Amino acid sequence: MSRAFTREDDNEAIADIGERPVSQHRNLVTEKGLAHIEKELARLREELGEAERSSNRERIALVSRDLRYWTSRRETAEVSVPEPGSDVVRFGMTVTLLGEDGKRHTWRIVGEDEADAAQGSISHVSPMAQALFGKGVGDEASVNGKEFEIVGMKAG
């Protein structure tokens, strides 16, 4: 049989999947973010078992890679809860902004793995969060050449 029809190339493809990049920033998470990590780990362990039972080497490699990523994120997770009554923006807070266009924007500042702008949450390392930290109601923040006034904030 010709070597052209062997599955040797599959081994190389599996070996070349690479690792998921892990952020160099502190892995701050909310309590909900930690629960999300735990849920991902449980799901991936179950999925790995299924892939091993079916001897699906490609699936085993992909799930193992994701399991390494989430294990790393769990090991470095730092749960941070905002101080109630804080008068400045901190991690875990929900902040309402008034843009120069008159539109209101509300963002919850969360960990990188839990950020989802479509759901109103942004990463603590995002430019917006960085511009807001340490500021209070009435202060302005500038991001990408646009001005925003902080008009409200609350813990959690």
pLDDT band at 50 (very low <50, low <70, confident <90, very high): very high
Percent of the chain with pLDDT over 70: 90
Q: Report phi then psi at 68, rounded to 5.
A: -60, -40
The total of structural domains in the chain comes to 2
Residues 114 and 68 both lie in one domain = no
Residues 141 and 117 both lie in one domain = yes
12 pLDDT exceeds 70?
no
- What confidence tens digit (pLDDT) does each residue in 61-115 have? 999 999 999 999 999 999 998 888 889 999 999 999 999 999 999 999 999 999 9
Q: pTM to 2 decimals?
A: 0.83
**How far apart (Å, rounded) are the C-alpha atoms in residues 156 and 150?**
16
Give Cα 16 to chain centroid, integer Å: 24
Residues 16 and 75 both lie in one domain = yes
Residues 63 and 117 both lie in one domain = no
Is residue 84 domain-resident? no
Instruction: Give the pLDDT of residue 82.
Output: 85
**How far apart (Å, rounded) are the C-alpha atoms in residues 91 and 30?**
9
Q: Report yes or no: 89 and 4 within 8 Å, Cβ to Cβ.
A: no
Give the residue-averaged pLDDT of 7-19: 62
**How far apart (Å, rounded) are the C-alpha atoms in residues 129 and 106?**
12
What letter does residue 19 receive in the DSSP assignment? P
